[in-house]
Homo-oligomer: A and B are copies of this chain.
Amino acid sequence: MSDTLDLFADPVELTVALVDVRSVSGEEAEIADLVERSLKAHAPHLEITRSGNAVLARTRLGRERRVVLAGHLDTVPINRNFPSRREGDVLHGCGTVDMKGGDAVMLAIAALSAEARHDLTFVFYDCEEIEAERNGLTRIEREAVEWLTGDLAIVCEPSNGTVEAGCQGTMRVEVRTRGKRAHTARAWMGENAIHGMGEALRRLEAYVPRQPEIDGCRYHEGLQAVKISGGVAGNVVPDEAVLTVNHRFAPDRSVEQAEQHLREVFEGFEVVVTDFSGGALPGLQAPAARELVEAAGGVPVAKLGWTDVARFAALGMPAVNFGPGDPTLAHTQEEHVQVQQITGCFDVLKRFLLA
């Protein structure tokens, strides 16, 4: 491995170089050191610092607006897909999609950012693929939030090169039924809590999810049972059953409104919220966001899953996903990216930020 990366090289070559440095979550020291050295060598106009295994860099151009670009350096565990392997226009390997292509584009933009149209902050962070408490953004937000704030955040996670705006929220609730135990030979003396769950499943089956349009983005809500359990013994009428339901809600609803909605859906049942994360409005009316969408030349789409975009949205900024690669290939053994998506994303960000 070379001492520094050539940040002026083709971003596809940069992607290869990054993929070929192992960086499973928690083991990002080597790649973070490489990124830090490379930025210091090739982008001396940047202010550069470290936060653990995260590398933070920014311009100080005095522009009216600041755009934050964020990419995690870690990958899920390697699964017989290391190092990278190129076949024609396809680059295979762990991290090719999630998300060293995005990191490479960020590094290439950083190298060219001495005269950028907006001030830029680059956040290369650690531990995105594991529990939220260890996520580098959690630590940076706590210790140095000024490195995360600006007028637009672009999380360069794979989005097939499309601007994915905002994200949906998620909430899990436990719906509980209670009954009365009895021997199944004398079932009429009891009350079956599992039978009582039939009505809750009926409501789930009949549920028609909203598909609201916000800032031109179509969201698609969901209400899905993800777990059910109940039962005491093979000859006992059960006195309790628990159904866990995951609700995905469009960002025009707050966490409180989503909870209220679930309490209405399951009226008559015990409902306990077990966890939630608010969504993020697309915020595409903000000037910098409009410029990005224009540079991408396409129609933005709604982000349906929950991503770190929501962390930036919670800081009061419009935030989008934009990066190379098909997100459905992330975390798979056959992870691979079309190299044109990498250069395509690079071109869009150049038009938006450097033109």
Residue numbers of A with Cβ under 8 A of B are: 168, 170, 172, 183-188, 192, 194-195, 197-198, 201-202, 204-205, 209, 220, 222, 224-238, 241, 243-244, 246, 248, 275, 304-306
Which of B187, B202, B248 is within 8 Å of A224, CB to CB?
Answer: B187
Cα of A160 to Cα of B205 in the assembled complex, Å: 48
Which of B185, B201, B246 is within 8 Å of A168, CB to CB?
Answer: B185
Q: Contacts of A241 on B, CB cut-off 8 Å? A: 228
The smallest beta-carbon distance between A131 and chain B, in angstroms, is 13
Cα of A235 to Cα of B198 in the assembled complex, Å: 22
The smallest beta-carbon distance between A210 and chain B, in angstroms, is 13
Q: How many copies does the complex hold?
A: 2
Which of B228, B233, B248, B306 is within 8 Å of A194, CB to CB?
Answer: B228
The smallest beta-carbon distance between A201 and chain B, in angstroms, is 3
Cα of A188 to Cα of B334 in the assembled complex, Å: 24
B222 and A226 form a contact (CB under 8 A): no
A222 and B170 form a contact (CB under 8 A): no
Cα of A293 to Cα of B209 in the assembled complex, Å: 64
A304 and B198 form a contact (CB under 8 A): no
A197 and B187 form a contact (CB under 8 A): no
Q: Contacts of A195 on B, CB cut-off 8 Å? A: 201, 204-205, 224-225
A197 and B228 form a contact (CB under 8 A): yes
A205 and B194 form a contact (CB under 8 A): no
Q: Which residue of B lies closest to A243 (CB)?
A: B194
A226 and B232 form a contact (CB under 8 A): yes
A238 and B231 form a contact (CB under 8 A): no
Q: Contacts of A234 on B, CB cut-off 8 Å? A: 172, 226-227, 244, 246, 275
Cα of A241 to Cα of B202 in the assembled complex, Å: 15
Cα of A205 to Cα of B248 in the assembled complex, Å: 30
Given contacts A183-B305, A220-B188, contact A235 B170 (CB under 8 A): yes
Given contacts A243-B194, A244-B231, A246-B235, contact A304 B226 (CB under 8 A): no
Cα of A275 to Cα of B226 in the assembled complex, Å: 29
Q: Contacts of A225 on B, CB cut-off 8 Å? A: 192, 194-195, 230-231, 238
Q: Which residue of B lies closest to A230 (CB)?
A: B228
Q: Contacts of A235 on B, CB cut-off 8 Å? A: 170, 226, 246
Given contacts A170-B235, A234-B246, contact A304 B227 (CB under 8 A): no
A201 and B204 form a contact (CB under 8 A): no
Q: Contacts of A204 on B, CB cut-off 8 Å? A: 192, 194-195, 198
Question: Which has the most chain B C-beta neighbours within 10 Å: A168, A170, A232, A235?
Answer: A235
A198 and B187 form a contact (CB under 8 A): no
Cα of A204 to Cα of B201 in the assembled complex, Å: 13
Cα of A173 to Cα of B206 in the assembled complex, Å: 27
Cα of A220 to Cα of B275 in the assembled complex, Å: 44
B229 and A184 form a contact (CB under 8 A): no
Q: Contacts of A228 on B, CB cut-off 8 Å? A: 194, 197, 228-231, 241
The smallest beta-carbon distance between A125 and chain B, in angstroms, is 22
A198 and B194 form a contact (CB under 8 A): no
The smallest beta-carbon distance between A331 and chain B, in angstroms, is 11
Q: Contacts of A183 on B, CB cut-off 8 Å? A: 305
